[in-house]
Structure 1
Amino acid sequence: MSTDYQQAREALGIRLRELRLGAAGGRLTGPQLAQRLGWPHSKIYKLEGGRQTATSDDLRAWARAVGHPDASDELVARLRGFESHIRSWRRQLAAGHRPVQDVWNIEVDRSEIIYAWEESVIPGMLQTADYARAIFLRYAELYGSVRDTEEAVRTRILRQQWLHQRGHVFHALVWEAALHALVCSPVALTAQLDRLAGMIGMDTVQLGIIPLGASLRIPTANGFWILDDRLVIAEDWHAEIWLDDADSVTTYQRVWNTLDESAVYGADAQNLITRAQRSLNPRA
């Protein structure tokens, strides 16, 4: 959990405590408020201490219970303000992968220059349908989410039209390990590597690959995308993290540039792809 997120949660907790102590009709203790709400009294202190994230319904109920229903909008606005940056997979995938892909397509369409770093998979903008299908199925199984796989695949592939529009440049940076990772069938990976090789030389795609044996100035940590100079989207196992403040965008761009110092391009990148292809089919 990010420091900024936690600080915002704690600030919301302080505001909740202020409302409890300033309740209409007189100050309420934690147990008294819990009784009014029908909650365990530990929930009151977890919310006030920033150790639990309230839901919108929790906040509206709190405002009513302390006699300040007019505070509901303020509290919910605070919650949305910091939750918009931490988009949990549990909530995002409640309706399946397709809606998540729709949101991504909107942001990509707004962009002209995109930088992506992926340490374990081929970037979505360069994936074949079969490779994307395997990825969605793996994650649907992991999170127990709705299996709208075909709709999600179609939406992700639709996004790739962006690569064929004038003025767009996709700077993709991939660790060599992603070329060998069997997150799909060998047949699907073979086709994916063929597609990747075909991207080298496109004027809208700059594909860099960091060899496994390359000297690294920083560790190859989690993947992230930078859209123009306005938004960073980073992935973790619990959530997608959206960052739109200038300092964060600058930091991630510096990380990308540092990783890029270890990458190879052009013919050297092609050789790494060829090596991965031969490992799948030694007789080729």
Structure 2
Amino acid sequence: MPPIVLVPAALAVGVLLLPLAALVARVDWSTIVADLTAPETLDALRLSIVTGVVATAVCLVLGVPLAIVIARATPRVAGLLRALVTVPLVLPPMVGGIALLFLLGRTGLAGQWLDAAFGLRLPFTTAAVVIAQAFVALPFLVLSVEGTVRAAGTRYEQVAATLGASRWTTFRRVTLPLAGPGLVAGTVLCFARAIGEFGATALFAGNAEGTTRTMPLAIYTAFNGAGVGQGTAVALSLLLLVASIAILVLVRGWRPGSAS
């Protein structure tokens, strides 16, 4: 490796670490407990955790079957499905929020039918937070599980079939255990992405305290001169940073071959 490579590499580390160090430096450690236990902070934290858990459960129910379908599909079909799954990863979150509004809003493709048939209005509700979180977090779960299942191959499933196992038994006793590491890592990443979602939530669910104001929205509100104080916003930012680091460590521990 040429020594000159170390210079941009060091600059890259600085670009990544210095903003985080600046955040930690702004924390008022004498008031952090009070900031994190303030009523508005606890409301945002509670809402983020509850909606994040529900969104992750939705992603598990929908994402695991999709991941296995992609892993077992033909290369052309798998490539198409994988590209569709990846779209929310590269799509600006605000665009995702607009798309959800056009689909589920009062005049949306499905929203007007839901309103007319059931009187159900999803935008600017807690359910809208869950939908927005699931929309942006689903790719993390699908891609993690799909990669693990595809890498495991089909030989164990074929052996189970030759021994007389039904397709459902093979799926439950062979495929899912093989997908275990990817499933755990994908679930953790999915939850982390869900509780950190901002753009799609802001447009589709709004920013109502106690109903749709999650931690990212509470931080944004504080730095725009309303809602919680900036000290609380910094404390919430630190909490999200610590949670992100913990999640990365957990995912690293479940990665195949991490023990080596």
- TM class, shorter-chain normalised? under 0.3
**Higher relative helix content:** 2
Tell me the TM-score normalized by structure 2: 0.24
Higher Cα Rg, which structure: 1
Give the structure, 1 or 2, with the largest relative contact order (CA under 8 Å, sep 6 or more).
2
**Higher relative strand content:** 1
Tell me the TM-score normalized by structure 1: 0.22
